[in-house]
């Protein structure tokens, strides 16, 4: 399938499509109209058609969408047909919660290394992985194929860390520090802010 550049707004909606389609597939549903998909997902049918048209639609007039095909194609777009090696930098409260989240592994995101600067954490095992001193990071990345680094350290030093990771060849950074990071180089960065979601919820509470 040839792919043109898709807007990030569309890409950000795809994981939801993927999840719902996976559930339909598990329930034995083989085809679905954009209207039924819309009713299930609470997204307008026209939005669904517009989004899926970005990839050639995957649907047939009067037939609807083939659930398995659509699920697999969206999965490929989202890299779900590949395995990703991940490392975690910062094994504090958030880092440990992320390391203990087993679903990432089931979705093909494999944690292969954990790093921290705190000597009390170095040497401990989290999900069977020994926490290494941060001084080992460059060597580890050179010896292992690291696709994604999770950054869960305090924000001081985060930008320098991100630049190093990019220079050492890491392809993507899942940045949880409060600072939005932008660096020179090819590494893609996804800045994650749970607080933004919380503020959106607060807005909804006060504007229903
Ligand atoms: P924490 O203090 O429990 O953990 C931070 C860990 O990073 C510690 O183990 C510390 O030793 C380690 N560390 C510090 N400098 C390091 C370095 N240079 N290299 C390697 N490890 C280093 O903090 P917590 O609660 O786990 O939060 C971590 C980060 O995530 C903070 O920046 C916090 O603001 C942020 N955060 C972001 C959220 C989000 O939605 N994006 C939600 C919650 C926290």
pLDDT digit string (tens) for the chain, length 208 residues: 445 678 889 999 999 999 999 999 999 999 988 888 888 888 898 898 888 888 765 666 667 888 998 899 999 999 999 999 999 999 999 999 999 998 899 899 999 999 999 999 999 999 999 999 999 999 999 999 999 999 999 999 999 999 999 999 999 999 999 999 999 999 999 999 999 999 999 999 998 7
Look at residue 87 in the predicted model and tell me its pLDDT: 98
Query: Strand 64-66 relative to strand 59-60: parallel, antiparallel, unpaired?
Result: antiparallel
Ligand 1: residues with CB < 6 A are: 89-95, 115-118, 121, 134, 152-155, 157, 176-178, 192-195
Closest-CA residue, ligand 1 atom 38, reads 176
Q: What's the pTM value of the predicted model, to 2 decimals?
A: 0.91
Distance 153 CA to ligand 1 centre (A): 3
Distance 104 CA to ligand 1 centre (A): 19
Structure tokens at 73: 């194609």
For residue 168, the SS3 value is coil
Task: Find the length of the chain.
Answer: 208
Look at residue 4 in the predicted model and tell me its pLDDT: 60
What phi and psi values does residue 12 have, to the nearest 5 degrees? -70, -20
d(CA 112, CA 84): 10
Distance 122 CA to ligand 1 centre (A): 15
Q: For the sheet containing 129-133, what is the strand order?
A: 125-126, 129-133, 109-116, 84-89, 148-151, 172-175, 188-191
CB atoms under 10 Å from CB of 170, counted, come to: 24
- Closest atom of ligand 1 relative to the 153 alpha carbon: 7
d(CA 46, CA 44): 5
Look at residue 2 in the predicted model and tell me its pLDDT: 45
d(CA 190, CA 176): 9
Closest-CA residue, ligand 1 atom 17, reads 117
């Amino acid at each position: 399938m040839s792919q043109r550049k898709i807007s990030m707004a569309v890409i950000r909606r795809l994981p939801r499509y993927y999840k719902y389609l996976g559930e339909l597939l598990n329930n034995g549903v083989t085809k679905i109209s954009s209207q039924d998909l819309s009713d299930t997902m609470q997204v307008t049918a026209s939005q669904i058609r517009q989004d899926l048209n970005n990839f050639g639609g995957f649907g047939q007039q009067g037939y609807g969408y083939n659930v398995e095909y659509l699920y697999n194609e969206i999965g490929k777009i989202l890299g779900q047909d590949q395995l990703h090696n991940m490392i975690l930098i910062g094994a504090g409260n958030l880092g440990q919660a992320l390391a203990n989240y087993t679903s990432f592994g089931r979705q093909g995101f494999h944690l292969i290394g954990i790093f921290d600067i705190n000597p009390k954490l170095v040497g401990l095992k989290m999900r069977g992985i020994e926490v290494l001193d941060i001084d080992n990071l460059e060597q580890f990345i050179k010896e292992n194929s690291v696709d994604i680094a999770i950054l869960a350290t305090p924000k001081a030093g985060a930008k320098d860390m991100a630049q190093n990771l990019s220079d050492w060849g890491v392809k993507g950074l899942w940045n949880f520090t409060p600072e939005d990071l932008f660096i020179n180089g090819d590494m893609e960065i996804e800045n994650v802010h749970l607080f933004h979601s919380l503020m959106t919820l607060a807005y909804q509470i006060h504007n229903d």
